[in-house]
A = this chain, B = another copy of it.
């Protein structure tokens, strides 16, 4: 079933548009209007003539033009009747935001709803979901106000979440961190479109470079395995309900049978997905995939640092993540011995010590970039010392056109965050903690093996 109308509709109807600020049907309309969606927007509400400056329609069938996407956000008891209207209208895709179905035991109504759309061959997302946010087309059916949930800029991360609240909180956090997104989908009860349909779609989506997936239970495990093993893009999975208590909670949350976490882990591994242990790890890995596109030839990591402690903590993290350590070639060692002050430690970590300058960093990075024994770099760039000219490093790094992945660690407060933003803008993923940077790099190197 074609599902592109969810993401690239020319027109969106909001069935249940409301005049009252704070209501779901008002927030969705508001977000579409002010978020920059360029297509037509049709509010549908039999009791209004105009909402938020847009002409309002009593019924979707009174809209003369074709409608690509219908968002249904009326109360559960009238969803079926709204569904019949949008089927009559032959819309291209439907998102049912409304809750009050399977998740509260109302299984019959949900089955009926799904069957109607199935018969009409109209793809359905939901019910009981937030729906879609597309950072490129600005389709936005999330009923959370922008003041409380920032929308991210365009980028390569797509995120499918079985939990709407978790998904939206992470979307908000990622926006503030400056991570770029392609698509976000909260698919709720998955009565129509499920995670497999979405994964297949995203695997062919040009804007999506990495797929994050929060899942409690799979709709169809076999199909999932088949789908994921065919996808060459990185998929980062966080499985909710790995513990007995988490499993029980998943059952009452999304009605998911969470299954044995070991079986899931095995399946994720076999299918080539990267499983992570928590939310931070998921977005740290996505961060590296979002920024980097250079393909590593191996997994040997070289650490560079202007702080001994950070070098050591990075080395411990490289070991914990089972990554091999690079051993600098004789040639590189000779060059560095000649050019660097004798107090520097030319090894792995390569410690260019506390008074390191931009030149020392650039010399070291460049030497490692051209050393055939090195596959990837972790560069600890502590910004508290006044000796480093970051502007210079940023400019030269951009010109260097790195042929090997580089992740940066910049630990600190206000000034450090400003500095980090400069490197981020130049295309380098930056992390506060060495252990998180290395973990995220490990996911990148693992996928690109």
Contact = CB atoms under 8 A, between A and B. Distances in A.
Interface in A396-413: 411-413
Nearest to A434: B279
B351 A279 contact: no
Copies in the complex: 2
Contacts of A167: 309
Contacts of A319: 242-246
B435 A386 contact: no
A284 B411 CA distance: 15
Interface string A345-371: 101110100100000000000000000
B162 A309 contact: yes
A382 B249 contact: no
Contacts of A238: 313
B311 A249 contact: yes
The 7 closest A-B pairs by CB, nearest first: A163-B309, A166-B309, A165-B307, A176-B413, A243-B319, A253-B308, A278-B435
30 contacts: A104-B343, A148-B385, A148-B412, A148-B415, A149-B413, A149-B415, A150-B413, A150-B415, A162-B309, A163-B307, A163-B308, A164-B354, A165-B307, A165-B308, A165-B310, A165-B354, A165-B385, A166-B313, A167-B309, A169-B307, A172-B411, A172-B416, A173-B432, A242-B316, A243-B319, A249-B311, A249-B312, A253-B351, A279-B313, A279-B434
Given A150-B413, A165-B309, A253-B309, 17 more contacts: A22-B386, A148-B412, A149-B384, A165-B382, A166-B411, A169-B310, A173-B413, A177-B413, A240-B309, A243-B320, A244-B319, A245-B315, A245-B319, A253-B345, A253-B351, A278-B317, A278-B436
